[in-house]
Structures are given as C-alpha cells and as structure tokens.
Structure 1
Amino acid sequence: MTPAGQWADFHIYDLGSQIKLFVHPTGRFKNVLLRLFVRSHLGDSPSETAVLPHVLMRGTRKRPTMGKIAEHLDGMYGARADADAAKIGENHVLSFRVDCVADRHLPGRSGNVKRAMEFLAEMAVDPAGNGKGLRADYVEQEVRNQRRALEDLMDDRSEWAAQRCVEAMCKGEAYATHEMGTLEGLSKVTASSLTARHRRLLETAPMELYVAGRVEAEEIAKQADRIFRFRKRGPVAEVPATVVDVPVGEPRRVVEQMDVEQGKLVMGFRTSVTYRDPESTALSFFNGVFGGYAHSRLFVNVREREGLAYSAGSSLEKTKGLLMVHAGIDLKKFDKCLEVILAELESIRAGKVSDAEMEATRRAMTERTRAVLDSPARGIAGLYERRLSGGVKTVEEALKEVAAVKREHVVEVARKLKLDTVYFLTAKV
C-alpha cells in the first residue's frame, strides 16, 4: 500500500474500512505496541460507552472467557492486552491495546505482530455472545463493577471534589459528564442496549489504528487493511467538536459538606487555548511556573512558604481549554489559601517571573517533551490527543517552541485566564 501521507516518523494510510492507520517503524524498542481508538461524543450514551470495553475484555467469540484470553496472550510470548474508555475534551474514546514482542526478536520470524493485530480486531469487533448479542451475564457483572467504581469516587475526596467542580463549572456542557458515565445512565444499560451501542460504534464511529515498534510500515498496512475490513462499516459519523469558547461571568462559588478532616479546594479557569492555538506552548509554560511542577509557585509558596496547603498544584485540559487548581487545605484556611493563590496569579500577570523560574520550567518542559521518545505509549497517546484539536507537532518542533518562550509570552497568556468556578469541599457543621 502507498502511504496517504507522513507526519514525523509516522506513515499514514487510509484503510479500506475508513480507518486511518499510523505506523511508526523504530528500532528503539523490543516490543510493538498496537492501539485502536474508537471515538464518540461524551454526550452520546456515555454510560453504555464507558462499560463497553470492560464487557469486551471478558471474552471473544473464539475465546469466550478471560482464562482463554490469558492462554492466548501467553501463547504470543507474553503479550498484554487491555481496553478502557477515556474522556478527551468532549470526546469519549474507547482504546483497545495489545503490546507484544517484535517478530525479529523471536525464532523464525514468528508472525507474532500479525497475531497481535488479529487479536486486537477480535477484541474490539467479535465479542463473546449468545447468538443474539452480548452475553447478559457479562453485561450485568460489568455494570455492577462500573456502578461500584462510580460510587467509590466519593471515597477519594480529591477525585470527588475535582469532578464536582467540573460538574458545576460545565453545567449544560457534555464535559460535565464523568468518563465512567452516570449512575442513572448505568441503571438503563442492558445486554440489548449495549449490543446496539457496540454495533453502532463499529459501523459509524471514527477509528484510528496506531502501530509503533520494530515493524515494516508497508507490511503492517497490508495486514491491517485485511484484518480491519469490517463487513458493516458505513459512512463515518461526524463527532461534534468540543465546545471551548464559553462566556464567563462572575466566578461562582460552590461549597459542599462531607465527613472530611481536610478541605479540598478546586478552582476552574477558562483559558480558551487549545493545542491548535499559537499560545499553546506559552500556556504550558505558564502552568509550569504557576503549579505544574515541584518548583512551581503553588507548591513552593502556597504549600511550603505559607503552609496553607498539604498539597497544591495545577493542571491543563488543552482539548477543552481549562486550567484546574487543586489544593488539600486546613478547613479553616480556605479564604487565606484562595487569596494567596489568586495573588500568585496576579504576580505572574504583572510580569514578576524570575529568570530562575523561567529556566527551571524550560528544563522541566524540555525533559517532559523528550520523554515522549522513550515511550511508544506516550507518543501515541500524545499524537492522538493533539490530533483531536488540530495542534499536532513533532518533538523537534515542540522543543523549539519551548526554547523560544519568553517572559512576556507567559505574562500575556496568564492574562487570558478567566476564573469560572471555586469549589470547596469542607466538613459537616
């Protein structure tokens, strides 16, 4: 097959089943990683989508139990397989993954990678069933497991506070939904409804297949075009774009009470900056100065110097255009902690960023960017996430942008942040 294009070290192919294939031939790794992404909108049956990969991992038509799957993977020289659902912006993404030893490291060029690709397709497409659809016992068991996982969120106070802040901040937006779905949605999942959801995704969902490791790109493309030629693959559906530009009024405050000994403060900012925007690297740099690393303001000043927090940091969601601040604090220090965090932001906006902060952040970002080269999993995940918002860069391009960031770029992007929501989880009175 002839590649449809190339990006960095990835050869891009259009398969006959309207699946895009990305192949990265590299001798850096002994193993080959294969990953299939199946994408839908987070507002479209999220509970069914979230439980589906767990049901599919229970068994396939050829290998209807987890024990049979384990035997098959052992026979592939200890290959590993998994599947899950993730939230990337307002995309709900199913990911199927097989990691296997490359053929050239095995006796007689064993065809191990081809078998891994066949099993990847089998896992995603050909589940264990009862003749009419998915096995009802598997569906019921995995719905119960998913329900317990959602209920367990409340036991992780940090995760719970983060989710509750997002729900308040993004009320009415698809992003408010957790990647595991909702308890109400799970109550409606049946073997019949999940079978229909699975078939609909196979027929119309955008799919991308990634292969990285010691492989020949053209041979992989030929195998993939044969293995992934589904019988009922229809026109690919258009998944609604993630909503980024949302009006922000006066910051809302949400206070909730639980049995806690430590308060959880979460602050949600709208950045309006995604991977595709020219300020993307400057925003990452700002986050590095503000709260993304151990040398950042929130850790050094809020936690260490002021002693206001047991933990403090910030993170970006660049597909949705959000920056979230998280802090575990003394129950009586909410007002002071909020004041100091906002003061640190204003300090950066005023240009009070030291050379030491700039260089520490530049070093940390450079190391993190280069680390992608050491992990096929990180490289594939990073490329896929950036493709969803149109901001794909090579590692070399990203490193040049990091090197070019100046103090004024950090100040400018800091001024774009708009505080949307302040959430505080505190003790019951």
Structure 2
Amino acid sequence: MFLTTKLAEGVHLHIRQTTQFKTVNFSIKWRAPLNQETAAQRAVLSNVLQHSNGKFKKSAEFRSYLDDLFGTVLYFDASKRGSEHTVLLNVETVNDQYLAHNKVFNEVLDLIHTAIFNPNFENGQFVPSIVEREKEMILHRIQSIFDDKTRYAQYRLNQIIRPNHPASISASGTLETVEQVTPESLTKAYESMINEDRIDIYVVGDIDVEAVQKKLTESLPFKDRTPKQPEQTTNESKPEREYTKEQQEMKQGKLHIGFSTPVRFGDEDYPKMQIFNGVFGGYAHSKLFMNVRERESLAYYASSSYNSMYGLVFVVSGIEPSNEKKATDVIYEQLEAIKNGEITDLELAQTKAMLINQLKESLDLARGQIEIFDQYKNLNEPFSVDTWNERWQNVTKEDVQKMAEQVKLEAVYFLCGKEA
C-alpha cells in the first residue's frame, strides 16, 4: 500500500503513489511517550507552530500565502494513541499536473520546511505574547470539556477506571500543566520534538516516487535519533470504586459504564472483539440501541465503543435520571444475552457489513489511507481490505459469545442534575 524508506535513524518516509486523488497529501507525525507535562507542552507547541513562523510572523500573512498556493491547507494538531503522544502536521495541496505553471509542489515543500525548521523565535526562543495567546486557546479547549456534559462524563469515567494511566491522560494535558508552559520550556519541547521524536512522514498522491523521496530528503533534514520508548504498563491500575454519582446543574442524566477486555489491537482475537462491539452497541442495529433506546425508550442515545489500545469497552447513554436503575439493568441484560449466545444472523451480518463499509469509506480519502496504514503497519504484515474482510467474515456467533465472556465490569459513572 505504501512504499517505506528510512531517511534517518528513527525517521521513516511512507509514500503511496495513486491516481485516486487530484491533490497531494502530506502528514508528518512526531511521537514521544505520553505524560501530563509533555502533553501540555506539545499541545501548546502545535498551536504556536500552526499560526506563525520565522518567515510569516503573523497568522494573517501565513493564511494569505496558503490561499495564494491555490488554497493549500496546512495545520498542526496534537493527539494520542496508546502510550504515545503525537504532534502532527497535515498538508493538502493541489497536484501540479492540474496547474499551468507547475510550481506549487516545490513551494509547498519550502513552506513545510519553514513551518518545521524556522519557528517564530525572539532572542532564541518562542515569542512570549504568542505563547500566552496559544496557552489560552488550549486552556479554553480543555475547559470546554467541562461544559460538554457527555465529554465530561467520559473524561471522569476514564479518570476513575484507569487513574494514572495513559487512558486517562489528555493529549492537551491539564489546566495546571498548561499554565506552567513558558517560552523557555516550549523551546526545549520544540528542540526535543525535532531532534528526539520518532517520526513518520506520509505522502499520498499521483507523484513521481523517486523524485519526491529526493526532494523530501532535502526539505526535511532530520538527523539520526534514538527515540524514547513509552513505559510498559504491566499492572493495570484499577478503579477505587465501582459506582460514582456526581451532580451538576443539568437535566439529562449521563450514564457511562466501563468494561475491560484482555483483547488488544493486534491480538489474534482483535477482529472478534470488533464484531462483539458492533453487535453490543457499535451501530444503530446493535442490541443497546434496539433495546435500551428503541424497545424500552429508556435513553435518548445508547451505544458502545471499543478502545483496543487500552483493552476497554465503554457504554454511553443519555437518560432521564429516574431511569438510571432500569437503564443500567437493560444494558447489563444485553451483555448477558451475548454471553448466552443470543445473537441473530442479521446482527452478525449487519455488523460485518458495517465494518467493511467503514474501512472502504476511510480508504476513499487520502487522510484515511494514511491513518489506517499508520495504525496497521505496526502489525508487521501487509495491510489489505480483503484480509480484514476475510477475518471479519470468519467470525462466528460462538466467537462473539467468547469475547463477551471476557468482558468484565470495571466502573459505572452517573452524572445528573442536583434534584435527582
């Protein structure tokens, strides 16, 4: 799917030559071990790099230049996956083949070089006023979680179910760790990212592979590095209590339940767990939606998700506070039904169809191809739609039943109004 070459120790370039798109897409990912302090530094750093650099000191100048490059899109962001924190740079630009003067590609490469290697420094470090401005943006982003009750409930459940664990660490850090960011600390974080992070560079488009390899080697002069490895969490932290109820000024209740499973991404049973989640609550045909919401009318919404990096299954639902016990009971009933093998042929077939359709839809986008390859490349096998379709098709009702038997309740979190 992608042709991979090593540009330097710890730095890899992945190119997919395809006539599928009229644009060329770049994605550069810097990865380091995830923790609260560095997450805050790197989240602020992604914002600072996004809005100015040594050539374009003001955000308006930067945006104007991108518009001149036929609407080229360039943005930095911060995210996490498993025990790693990622700063990413995504760029999408028109392919020179569709232009008269055929220069945009090289200009975009120069701009990527500028955005990465020529930061907006003042006296050898980031400009204090810009750092403070972008800190405020990250603080607002974190604060917004407290205003969105569904996100807040999931945030609290993560804290309860896996305290002091990557699962409960935000990619943006905390209000406290963001406040501690200074121009000096941010400059050190930038230097560490450029010189020490593991880096993956992706390019997708109708391009000359050898020419792009040569140009990127010149444009992105990353040096050899020995990336730091995330600490292996051998003992999973456990919730201090199984049930937590909190009250705020609100009307709709948020019932969030966390389960654990020993099955992780890359395990032999991983496709079976994906099918289990689809049957349980992953889609509109799933048991949670059809029974908690449709049959019993106990929830405004009810669904499940499977975080394969942490081995966690979450159920989220919005309910009337008076329906808490009944809704909880019906949710547990759906899990028990799967454990008892009560799975219809239609539920199984629809789940398999949804999984393959989601995968194909993702591959219709250049960004989707990058993200899927970026994740699945760690399995050390060639990725193909046919391979995963076959794995899903081979999953039986008995397989799903066995997955359900391994799912264990960890904690329940209920957020509701003060009158409840």
TM-score range, shorter chain: over 0.9
Secondary structure in 1 matching 2:142: helix
Pair 266,249 (structure 1): closer, same or farther in 2 beyond 3 Å:
closer
- Give the residue type in structure 1 aligned to 2:197: A
> Displacement of 1:220 after TM fit?
1.3
- Give the residue type in structure 2 aligned to 1:372: S
- Give the residue type in structure 2 aligned to 1:197: A
Give, in whole Å, the separation in 2 of the partners of 1:412 and 1:216: 48
Contact 2:377 2:383 in 1 (8 A): no
Counterpart in 2 of 1:6?
none
Give, in whole Å, the separation in 1 of the partners of 2:239 and 2:298: 28
The Cα RMSD (Å) is 1.9
Secondary structure in 2 matching 1:424: strand
> Displacement of 1:332 after TM fit?
1.0
Candidates 65, 68, 72, aligned match of 1:72: 65
Give, in whole Å, the separation in 1 of the partners of 2:94 and 2:246: 50
Contact 1:82 1:96 in 2 (8 A): yes
Q: How many residues align?
A: 418
1:326 aligns with 2:316: yes
1:301 aligns with 2:294: no
Q: Show the 5 A alignment for 1:228-307.
A: 228-230=220-222, 233-240=223-230, 243=233, 246=236, 252-307=242-297
Give, in whole Å, the separation in 1 of the partners of 2:303 and 2:391: 24
Counterpart in 2 of 1:216?
208
Give, in whole Å, the separation in 2 of the partners of 1:276 and 1:391: 11
Give, in whole Å, the separation in 2 of the partners of 1:175 and 1:64: 37
Give, in whole Å, the separation in 2 of the partners of 1:418 and 1:224: 48
Candidates 164, 189, 194, aligned match of 2:181: 189
- Give the residue type in structure 2 aligned to 1:271: T
Pair 350,241 (structure 1): closer, same or farther in 2 beyond 3 Å:
farther
- Give the residue type in structure 2 aligned to 1:279: D
1:101 aligns with 2:94: yes
1:83 aligns with 2:73: no
Q: Deviations over 1:231-285 (max 9, x none)?
A: xx35222221563762768971111111110110111111222221011111111
Pair 261,11 (structure 1): closer, same or farther in 2 beyond 3 Å:
same
Pair 391,184 (structure 1): closer, same or farther in 2 beyond 3 Å:
farther
> Displacement of 1:175 after TM fit?
2.4
- Give the residue type in structure 2 aligned to 1:227: S
Q: Show the 5 A alignment for 1:127-206.
A: 127-206=119-198
Contact 2:247 2:418 in 1 (8 A): yes
1:337 aligns with 2:330: no
Pair 320,241 (structure 1): closer, same or farther in 2 beyond 3 Å:
farther
Counterpart in 2 of 1:409?
399
Extract unaligned runs of 5+ from structure 1.
Answer: 1-8
- Give the residue type in structure 2 aligned to 1:46: A
Counterpart in 2 of 1:375?
365
1:56 aligns with 2:46: no
Q: Deviations over 1:1-30 (max 9, x none)?
A: xxxxxxxx2000100364101100000111
Contact 2:161 2:238 in 1 (8 A): no
**Bigger mean CA deviation after superposition, 407-416 or 117-126:** 117-126
Contact 1:16 1:225 in 2 (8 A): no
Give, in whole Å, the separation in 1 of the partners of 2:207 and 2:145: 41
Give, in whole Å, the separation in 2 of the partners of 1:391 and 1:317: 21
Pair 356,244 (structure 1): closer, same or farther in 2 beyond 3 Å:
farther
Q: Deviations over 1:81-127 (max 9, x none)?
A: 1111012122111110110011211124x142233233223223321
Contact 2:160 2:240 in 1 (8 A): no
**Bigger mean CA deviation after superposition, 416-425 or 250-259:** 250-259
Pair 167,389 (structure 1): closer, same or farther in 2 beyond 3 Å:
farther
Q: Deviations over 1:162-212 (max 9, x none)?
A: 001001111121321112210110111111111111111111010100001
1:42 aligns with 2:44: no
Pair 284,194 (structure 1): closer, same or farther in 2 beyond 3 Å:
same
> Displacement of 1:219 after TM fit?
1.4
Counterpart in 2 of 1:358?
348
Pair 391,255 (structure 1): closer, same or farther in 2 beyond 3 Å:
farther
Secondary structure in 2 matching 1:314: strand
Pair 60,47 (structure 1): closer, same or farther in 2 beyond 3 Å:
same
> Displacement of 1:156 after TM fit?
0.3
Contact 1:302 1:309 in 2 (8 A): yes
Structure 1 vs Structure 2: percent identity of aligned residues? 28
Secondary structure in 2 matching 1:210: strand
